Amino acid sequence: MAVGSGVLADEPGSVRMIAPAACTGERVGQAGFELVFHNHYRRLVRSLAVACGNEDLAADVVQQAFVQLWANWSRISRYESPAGWVARVAISRLRDHQRSVRRLASALLRLGRQSDLDGASPGERLEITAALARLPLRQRLAVVLYYLDDRPIAQVASLMGVSEGTVNRHLFRAREALRSYLEEA
């Protein structure tokens, strides 16, 4: 390890990092972050949009990854490839989202098949399932994880990657919407 080389770790399998002196100062750090963002954001969104078929979802996961990069910039800026780190985080978030959607679909199918859904008749169960389908994805996910899977708020928040307050807000809005939808039926 040569001090003047700018490499802090050069062992097989280790992460290569540039010397911290190259990233000193808030202004230099911000400029480095902005450079990574401007050089990689659009390309990563475009790639993930093709992979998942949803440009909005791709933009969301890439934005979340860049927020995480910014929050940890002082550490990650020393990695050999902060852009590679962002891509891995965005891909991981996309996979997490897709797993959540699959679990939600499975839970909704189970909900539709339950014979004793609070004593509801088959017609009422179909109305409930249809009303759930009208909810935005995050509200549906919160409802299913909290009410159907019987998970505590803290665990729902962790699974969804949001705060407990956000889960409570999703549940409140979902209950209001479901009440309205079911009164219409």
| Per-residue pLDDT band at 181 (split at 50, 70, 90) | confident
Strand partners, 17: 79
Q: Is 0.75 surpassed by the pTM of this model?
A: no
| Residue-wise pLDDT tens digits, 4-63 | 333 333 333 333 333 333 444 455 567 889 999 999 999 999 988 888 778 998 999 999
Task: Tell whether the torsion through CA atoms of 180, 182, 183 and 185 is positive or negative.
Answer: positive
d(CA 182, CA 185): 5
> Domain ranges in the chain?
3-94, 114-184
Is the distance from CB of 138 to CB of 160 less than 8 angstroms? yes
d(CA 52, CA 49): 5
The CATH number of 114-184 is which of 1.10.10.10, 3.30.530.20, 1.10.540.10, 3.30.930.10? 1.10.10.10
**What pLDDT was estimated at residue 112?**
52
Q: Provide the angle, in degrees to the nearest 10, between the axes of the packed helices 55-71 and 26-52.
A: 150
- Kindly state the DSSP code that residue 54 receives in the 8-state scheme: -
**What pLDDT was estimated at residue 89?**
94
Answer yes or no: is pLDDT of 117 > 60: no
| Residue-wise pLDDT tens digits, 53-89 | 789 989 999 999 999 999 999 999 999 999 999 999 9
**What pLDDT was estimated at residue 22?**
41
**What pLDDT was estimated at residue 20?**
38
Alpha helices, H only, 72-163: 73-76, 82-113, 122-134, 137-143, 153-160
